[in-house]
């Protein structure tokens, strides 16, 4: 990679995140030595990019928090890749975040010029998504899980342990796992005080608890 190209890519990588990243991590990403990265960072600073270096855990190089990012300019090819991945995720029901994903895709399309939108449509017409979609989930459950994940809020759920038994659970979502047809929720089961995994498609109902709430566990949970 030529230095001019690398400097541009380095600036974009720093714009893409506001948390610190170490020079070592940047050197590994761009396949150069640590001294080269230090020289590149100094060049970006001299060019007016407001970089800061934070020490300690979570530190590293980052853009100044008051720096306002310019509008994102996507090419038709870049937009096509984003829209294609988003469309695939929606059609295969890979994510519980269907509505915000649809809104984000609309914004990507709207940011393009008329000619770029035509090019995007042409590229998407040549894409096909095959395979069995993930199992369906009621929209209210999807929205509750989405909010719980983004806002770190607890959930009361009604969960089908088997086709004949639905049990209440009080959980805090820790992560999502996408396994072909099934979306799995890694949770802390607040009733039992242990980590458990729940299938998203088996949640019949989900209710968000207020932020910061310390809910009482269900009695006799198993």
Using one digit for the tens of pLDDT, what is the confidence trace for 65-117?
A: 666 656 667 777 788 788 888 887 887 777 777 778 888 888 887 777 777 77
With CA atoms as reference, report the closest residue to 36 among 84, 1, 88: 1
Give the C-alpha separation, 219 to 57, whole Å: 40
Contacts of 199 (CB under 8 A, 6+ apart): 182, 183, 184, 185
φ, ψ of residue 63 to 5 degrees: the values are -75, 150
3-class DSSP state of 164 = coil
- Which residues in the chain come in under a pLDDT of 70? 1, 16-18, 56-58, 65-72, 128-134, 180, 213-222
Give the C-alpha separation, 5 to 150, whole Å: 35
Give the C-alpha separation, 183 to 132, whole Å: 13
Half-sphere exposure of 173 (CA within 13 A, CB side): 27
Tell me the whole-structure pTM to 2 decimals: 0.56
Can you give the pLDDT at residue 182?
A: 81
Can you give the pLDDT at residue 216?
A: 58
Can you give the pLDDT at residue 131?
A: 65
**Residue for token pair 């607040």:** 190
């Amino acid at each position: 990679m030529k230095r001019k190209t690398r400097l541009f890519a380095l600036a974009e990588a720093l714009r893409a995140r506001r948390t610190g990243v170490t020079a070592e991590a940047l050197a590994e990403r761009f396949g150069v030595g640590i001294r080269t990265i230090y020289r590149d960072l100094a060049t970006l600073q001299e060019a007016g990019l407001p970089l800061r270096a934070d020490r300690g855990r979570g530190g590293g190089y980052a853009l100044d928090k008051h720096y306002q990012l310019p509008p994102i300019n996507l090419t038709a090819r870049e937009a096509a890749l984003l829209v294609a991945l988003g469309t695939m995720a929606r059609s295969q029901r890979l994510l519980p975040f269907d509505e915000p994903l649809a809104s984000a895709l609309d914004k990507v399309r709207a940011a393009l010029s008329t000619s770029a939108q035509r090019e995007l449509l042409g590229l998407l017409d040549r894409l096909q998504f095959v395979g069995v979609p993930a199992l369906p989930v009621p929209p209210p459950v999807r929205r509750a899980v989405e909010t719980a994940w983004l806002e770190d809020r607890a959930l009361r759920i009604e969960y089908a342990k088997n086709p004949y038994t639905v049990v209440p659970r009080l959980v805090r979502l820790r992560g999502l796992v996408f396994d072909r047809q099934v979306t799995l929720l890694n949770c802390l089961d607040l009733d039992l005080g242990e980590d458990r995994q729940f299938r998203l498609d088996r949640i019949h109902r989900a209710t968000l608890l207020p932020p910061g709430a310390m809910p009482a566990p269900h009695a006799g949970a198993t």
